[in-house]
Amino acid sequence: MTHPKFNPDLWMEVGSSGGPNKNLVYGLSNTTADNLWSTRSVSTIGSSQSISSSQSKEFVALQQHMAQLTDKYDHLSAEYAQLKASHAQQRAESEQIKASQAQQKAEYKQQKAAYEQLHEMVINMATYSGTCAPNPFWPYNHQPPPPGSPPPPPAPPLY
- Mean per-residue pLDDT for 81-109? 96
* 23: Cβ contacts below 8 Å, ≥ 6 apart: 29, 30, 32, 33
Q: Across residues 53-74, what is the average pLDDT? A: 90
| Residue-wise burial string across 2-13, b where 16 or more C-beta atoms lie within 10 A, e elsewhere | eeeeebeebbee
pLDDT at 67 over 80: yes
Give pLDDT tens digits for 21-37.
Answer: 555 555 555 555 556 55
80: pLDDT confidence band, cut at 50, 70 and 90?
very high
* Extents of the domains making up the chain: 8-39+55-101
With a threshold of 0.85, does the pTM exceed it?
A: no
CA distance 51 to 30: 23
Question: Confidence band (pLDDT; 50, 70, 90) for 117?
Answer: very high
Find the mean pLDDT for residues 110-132: 83
Tell me the HSE value of 118 on the side-chain side, using a 13 A CA sphere.
6
pLDDT-derived band of residue 47, with 50, 70 and 90 as boundaries? very low
